Every structure is written in C-alpha cells, then in structure tokens.
A and B are shown apart, each in its own frame.
Chain A
C-alpha cells in the first residue's frame, strides 16, 4: 500500500462529482479524526473474537427486525411530513390562505414529537446492532466511518433547523415568512441527507462494490456509490411522502370519527382530503421508481433478481400486488365517496363513470394478482400440465403486470380529475374542444399502453425492458402532465353548480383513510422483508456470509405475522405520539370555537389540493 501525505490524499481523491470544496472539507475532517479512525480499527480487530450474540427467546434477528422496522417507519414519517408541510406552507403563503399555514403547522407539530421517538429507536437499533452483530458492524464501520461522522453532523443540523422551524413558526409570520420558508427548505435538504447516508450502508449490503486501497474517505465514497443507492434513495423519498400523506390522512380520519362539533368535522374532513390527495399523488410515480430499482437489482446480479421476482420471493410480489390493489381501491373509494357525499345530488350523474373505473381497476388487479406459478393440487397441476396455466399463464409475466399497473395509475388519476370537475360547469368557449381532446388523448394512451403490453410478448426481454416499459410509463406521465394544467385552466373559468359541503362524509370514509395508511405501512414492512431476504444468506451480498443460526430466510406466513405485528406496534406508537402532541391544544382550542368558521376567500385559481371547489363569497352568491 502506498503512503501518501495527507495533502496528497486530498488531491488524489478521484471522486466523480465536482464538489471540490466538499471534498476538501471532508479531507480536513478526516485529518482531525485520525486518532479516532485508528481507534475504530483497533476495535474492529478486537471484535473479531465475537461474531454474533443472541437474545434467547426472541432471537437476535427478530428483535432487530422489530426495532429496525419501527425506526424506519418513524423515519419515513419524519422525513416525509416536512416535504409536504413545507409545500402546504408555500401554498398558504402564495395564496394568502391561513388554513394552509395552519395545516402545515399542525403537521409540523406532529413532526416534533415523532422526531424524538425516531432518534430513540435509532439509538436502540444502533446499540442492538453493535451488540448482536459485532462482526458485520466492525466491517461496515471500517468502510463507512467517515460517513458516520457526516451523518452525525447532518443530524445535529437537522435537529437545530427543526427547532428553529417549529418554534419560530409564529414569530416568523408576515415579513419574515420568506426566511421561515427558507428554513423549511434547509430542513428538507438535511432530511434528504439523513436519509441517503444510511441508505448507502443498506444498499452496500445488497449490492457491494470492490473497495480498493485508498484513504478512508475514498473508500467510504466508493462504497456509497453502489448501483442501487440512487434507485433506493428516489424510491424511499417518494414513498416517505406517500407514508406521510396517508398517515396524516389516517390521523384526520380518526379525528373526524371522534369529532363532535361541526367545525371539527369540517376541518378534519378537509385535512383527510389533503392527506389522501398527497398520498395518492405521491403514489402515482411510485411504481415507476420501484421498476427502476428492480431493474438495477436485476442488472447488478441476476441471481438476486430471480430470487425476488421468480424464485423464493415470487409470492411476496403477489401479496404486494394485493396490498397495492387495496391501496388503489381505497384511495379511489375515498374520492368517489367524496363525490357522492360532498357534492349533494351528484350521485346519479357519476354512477356510470365510477362503475366503469371500478371495473377497469378490478380487472387490472385480477391480472396483477394472477401468479406465474399457481398454487395447485396434484390433480389440478396434471390437468394444466404443470403449475403454469396455458391461458392465464400469460398474465403471470412482467409485460402484463407493467401494463396493468400503468392502467391503474391512469384510472386513479382520472378518478381525481373527475372529483376535481365534479359539481362544476365549464364556461369557457373552448371547454368542449378541450374535453374532447382529453377524451381522445385518454383513449389513445390506454390503447397504446395495452398495445405495448401485448407487443411486449413478442420481442426480446431487453427491448421490452429498455423501451416498451419506459414508453408505457412516459405515456402515463404525459397524460398526467397535460391533463393537470388543462383541467386547472378549465376550472379557472368554471361555474360552480353544486357547492362542496365538508363534514358530511360517512363513517366509512374515516375507516378507508385508516385502511390506506395501514396498507402503506404494511407495504413498507413487506418490501423491507423483500429487500432484506433478497440478500439470502449474505450480510453483504457475495462478500460477507451470514454464519449465524438466522442465516435462513423465514417463510412468507411467518414473515407476514411479523409485518402485521410491526404495523400494529407502529400504529399504536403513532397514535400515542399524536395524542401527546395534541394534549396541549385541547385546553387552548376552547375559546376560538365561538368564532364563526371563517371560510377563507379563495381566488379563482383554486389549487387542486384545496379540494377543487372554490367556496369564496363571490361564487356562493
């Protein structure tokens, strides 16, 4: 190994990014931490004597499973909420609507109490990992130590920013609002950093790269840049927004169920709508991000790809399809309930399109859930000539699944557009032409997506993966990108025929919000299990083998019981955190009840997030 002077080390660092100043700072940091690095290596040598410790009864893997899952779910919430709290705040700032600011503040309040619990679970997880998996942790520490320091610094910055953001909320209204928004931006940037640094550790375990000689920072950086790092970052970033949105929706749903006064009902009905809206809009690009991640895994190692998609974990993806299907159905159901109950008298008018959308969704779900290898008894398998059905076997492959997931995204988007337009009549002269154009585009897009899906059976896999699937995604994205501004323009001049009434939703709307949140949490637990078991018997895939007694991957049913347990514990935790967070304002909220609920005047350019119904004084008259 060559010996470089520290300055040479910095100069020689061959990082592919151009953040030169960052590198220099990082280099200086390592110089300062040199004694600590030496100590860490000593510790690594000593830790070799013990490879694993166990907790009898529960088992080391199970306890890590629970704690890591709780930490991850809390972290997902804590990182997802600031994103849309910040967006809500900006919307409130730009449109001068205090109810958005109030909503953003309410979310941030939930954030502060959840943040401490997240850190608590992170600490427990760290102690358990060091204690139970010393060999693995020593190896990871050896490679990633500089990133641990970066993580700690990010954590300090995030905490400081969060405190300023929350405690400065009221103080920074008015002229200082821009500064507060900037704080929100910083908060989100640090949160992003906090997410992607540990992602690198986890993705390195799944897709390691060879660590050549070099400085500590070089080694850490080359390990961080593993093939699945960015796909996981993007996937988790979007999923966190979805989780945050649906959990806030569920919170609003429960509060709506518990609400007694009309004002409370109206407020939480609206809040539930916003939460569901954010969740759905985050969910629409999520299949695409997941597809990208899966593709990277396949390319990184075919063995891992087959284990996931066609091998041991194939049934897990059927369960995933079921959960996503329920989630899509639940989100649409909530939209449809909104049309039926918030817009009185619209029921008959929208019954037919709703039925059509429901049938399409269910047909897609049926295709998605049809497994490639069927569960069959001996007699049934003999009649089919194997566990592949001659006719329905075609539904079991990727081409069909990609097509139906795109169609489901499309239907959900149209469901939202329908909700947006409900109870209004377009007045613009070009409205008819625009609606006709949208109809034609929609038909063309659906035909194209299905056509590509069918054609995909007849081309080599690589053509399908590289072009057809990407084309399908782009078609759906194109529809979303063109329809949203077009509808916004249409709605700008539209006349409201039926006023949207908040606080009239039936009880089952609250339950469907809760159901959506449970589905998202379950999905995250399920895919966490998939990510972890795709490594099969490796701690670090192909590099460090798991030689503990827990090297096997548990069967799906056992894992599902654990996921359910984790989801339930998380729901209880979240309920507790929210209960604690709202203890304070019970007393405070009494006096303002006398004030009449002021419906904020909204401009004609009502954002879609507001529920789409302008309730300003002008339109009421």
Chain B
C-alpha cells in the first residue's frame, strides 16, 4: 500500500469516526470534537486528492579544478559561486533590481580591470573616503562590502578568479582570466580547509555547497 493510500485510509477513518460521534454520541463536547475531526480529515483528503510530489534537494556538487579546460568553464564555475557560496547575490544584482542593496554589477567586467575587481573583493576598504565631519582625526567609513577572502565567506584565490571570469562574461567581454593562472595558484591550504571543512580535505577541490562552511572567528 502506498503512503498516499495509507494516509487516505487514515483520513477516511478519521472522518468516519467523526460522523459516528455525531450520529451516536450525545455529549456536546465530544460532538464538537467529532465535528473538528471531520473538518480536519476532509482537509487532509482534499490535499491528498491532488497528485503528490515531494521536492528533492539537488545533488551536492563538488568541482575538480583540474577539470577546468576553457575560460568558459571558469565562468560557469564563477556563476555558481556568485549565486551560492560567494553570497554575492544577497546584495548585488546583475541588471536593475529593486531588492539589490548594493551596486548593480551589469557590465562591471567591461568597466573595471580584473586586478581592480580582485582588489575590491579582497580589500573593500581601499578606496573608501575618510570621514572628516568632526573635529577629531578622520575616521574610516566601514565599507558595506565584506572581505571576500576572509571569514565568513572566505573564497580562495581560484574561486575569486572564476567569479571575475563570470563577471567579464556577463558583460559580454572576452574573458581575460586564464585557466593556467587559476591552476597555477598555490591554493592557500588554510583557506581551502575552511572552505571544505567537513567533506573534503583534499586541496584542489572546491565544494560548491555551503553545507560544511562554518563561521569561525
């Protein structure tokens, strides 16, 4: 017997019980309870009458850097990082958006050199003006942008490079990041270990799901 049929049987029994209570029992309180279970049983039966479908989680992807062949591969890896582990899309949009809290990144790969994008990601404070609006020494405005190469997001250099490749592609630009640049990066073992904490300790693998990422300060 399938699970649906079992639940349907259960629902019908509950409704039947409720009807029996209403037919044969005088106690007012029990009658109200009987009425309630008829309502609840009918609701469940209605929900069971439409075709049932559970939503399964997608498989957790693991990406081997060695399999990268072309700049386009880099960009598609960068696309995944941009929208998941990198958390870029929590603030930035590509193209106009009402919900974006930070600058629109459409065309950014054409406007900015990859070196500058890299610096913006790893040292967001670099070009933020100081606050002179008081008598004391000037202070920094804290940048809204977090340090992408540090916790909690902590992308490794190859990962950041692939995100830049993705941004260039999304601007309709040729990708200037070279696969060799990424492959030849000595992955900072410490950072990669944090990124792939529980699942994979073998350096060279980038875990795309955040399952194992923990904030460690």
Q: Residues of A with Cβ closer than 8 Å to B?
A: 1, 12, 14, 41, 44-45, 48, 51, 135, 138-139, 142-143, 208-214, 227, 254, 257-258, 299-301, 312, 315, 318-319, 322-323, 375, 510-511, 514-515, 518-519, 522, 533, 536-537, 542-547, 551-561, 563-564, 567-568, 571, 575
Where chain B touches its partner, the secondary structure class is loop
Q: Does B183 sit at the interface, judged by CB under 8 A?
A: no
Cβ contact within 8 Å between A543 and B210:
yes
Q: Would you call A135 and B214 a contact (CB within 8 A)?
A: yes
Given contacts A211-B146, A212-B142, A545-B210, contact A533 B55 (CB under 8 A): yes
Q: Which of A322, A511, A555, A560 lies in contact with B53, CB distance below 8 A?
A: A555
Contact present for A12 and B142 (CB under 8 Å): yes
Report the Cα distance A153→B97, complex, angstroms.
Answer: 39
Nearest CB on A from B148, distance (A):
10
Bound-state CA distance A538–B89 (Å) is 15
Tell me the complex Cα distance, A519–B39, Å: 9
User: Which residues of chain B from 74 to 102 have a CB within 8 Å of any chain A CB?
Assistant: 83-84, 87, 89-91, 97-99, 101
Tell whether B152 is near chain A: CB-to-CB under 8 Å: yes
Residues of the A chain whose Cβ atoms lie less than 8 Å from the Cβ of B210: 543-545
Contact of A564 among B44, B87, B89 (CB under 8 A): B44
Report yes or no: A542 in contact with B55, Cβ–Cβ below 8 A: no
B1: interface (CB < 8 Å): no
Q: How far, in whole Å, are A315 and B36 apart by their CA atoms in the complex?
A: 23
Bound form: Cα–Cα A45–B213 in Å: 12
Between B31, B83, B210, the greatest number of chain A beta carbons within 10 A of the residue's beta carbon is seen for B210
Minimal beta-carbon separation of B206 from chain A (angstroms): 15
Which residues on the B side are within 8 Å of A556 (C-beta)?
A: 47, 50, 52-53
* B54 and A557 contact, CB distance less than 8 A: no
A-B contacts besides A536-B55, A558-B52, 11 pairs, CB < 8 Å: A135-B214, A208-B90, A210-B87, A211-B152, A319-B47, A511-B35, A537-B58, A547-B211, A555-B53, A557-B44, A557-B48
Contacts of A254 in B (CB 8 A): 28-29, 32
B50 touches A568 (CB 8 A): no
B60 adjacent to chain A (CB < 8 Å):
yes
Which B residues are CB-close (under 8 A) to A555?
A: 52-54
Chain B residue contacts of A561, Cβ below 8 A: 7, 10-11, 44, 47-48
- From A301, A546, A553, A568, give the contact of B36 (CB < 8 A): A568
B47, B97, B144, B209: the one contacting A545 at CB < 8 Å is B209
Chain B contacts for A560, CB-based, 8 A: 43-44, 46-48
Q: When the two chains form their complex, are residues A557 and B7 in contact, meaning their CB atoms are under 8 A apart?
A: yes
Query: Contact: B41 with A257, CB < 8 Å?
Result: no
**Interface residues, chain B, CB within 8 Å of chain A?**
3-4, 7, 10-11, 28-29, 31-33, 35-37, 39-41, 43-44, 46-48, 50-58, 60, 83-84, 87, 89-91, 97-99, 101, 139, 142-147, 150, 152-153, 197-198, 209-217
Please, which residue of chain A has its CB at the minimum distance from the CB of B208? A545
Q: How far, in angstroms, from A552 to B58 measured CA to CA in the complex? A: 9
A-B contact pairs, 15 of them (CB 8 A): A12-B139, A142-B215, A210-B90, A211-B152, A213-B147, A214-B142, A319-B47, A518-B39, A545-B60, A545-B210, A558-B3, A561-B47, A564-B40, A568-B37, A571-B36
Contact A44 B214 (CB under 8 A): yes
CB proximity of A227 to chain B, nearest CB, Å: 6
Query: Which residues on the A side are within 8 Å of B4 (C-beta)?
Result: 557
On whether the beta carbons of A542 and B90 are closer than 8 Å, the reply is: yes
Q: Are A564 and B41 in contact (CB under 8 A)?
A: yes
Contacts A537-B58, A568-B37; A213 near B90 (Cβ below 8 A): no
Please measure, in the bound complex, the distance between the C-alpha atom of A564 and the C-alpha atom of B48, giving whole angstroms.
Answer: 12
Cβ contacts under 8 Å, B153 to chain A: 210
Closest Cβ neighbor of A254 among chain B residues: B32
Using CB atoms, name the residue of chain B closest to A208. Answer: B90
B residues in contact with A214, CB < 8 Å? 142
* Contact in complex: B40, A258 (CB < 8 Å): no
Q: Which residues of A contact B99 (CB under 8 A)?
A: 227, 299-301
Q: Which residue of A lies closest to B84 (CB)?
A: A542
- By Cβ-Cβ distance, the 9 closest A-B pairs, closest first, are A560-B47, A537-B57, A557-B48, A564-B40, A555-B52, A547-B211, A299-B99, A553-B55, A551-B57
CB distance from B36 to the nearest CB of A (A): 6
Given A514-B35, A552-B57, CB of A258 within 8 Å of CB of B28: yes
Which residues of B sit under 8 angstroms from A299, Cβ to Cβ?
97-99
| Chain B residues with CB under 8 A of A554 | 54
> Closest CB-CB distance, B147 to chain A, in whole Å?
7
Hey, which chain B residues are within 8 Å of A553, CB to CB? 54-55
Which A residues lie within 8 Å of B142 (CB)? 12, 14, 212-214
CA–CA, A499 and B146, complex, Å: 70
**Cα-based distance from A571 to B198 in the complex (angstroms):** 43
Cβ of A138 and Cβ of B58 under 8 Å apart? no
Q: Which residues of B contact A519 (CB under 8 A)?
A: 39
Residue of A nearest to B209 (CB): A545
B39 lies within 8 A of A312 (CB): no
Question: Which residue on chain A has the smallest CB distance to residue B57?
Answer: A537
Q: Do the beta carbons of B28 and A552 come within 8 Å of each other?
A: no
CB distance from A18 to the nearest CB of B (A): 17
A558 touches B7 (CB 8 A): yes
Contact of B50 among A51, A139, A257, A375 (CB under 8 A): A375
| A478, B40: Cα distance in complex, Å | 37
Q: Which residue of B lies closest to A13 (CB)?
A: B142
Q: Which residues of A contact B197 (CB under 8 A)?
A: 48
Provide the residues of chain A in CB contact with B91, threshold 8 Å: 209-210
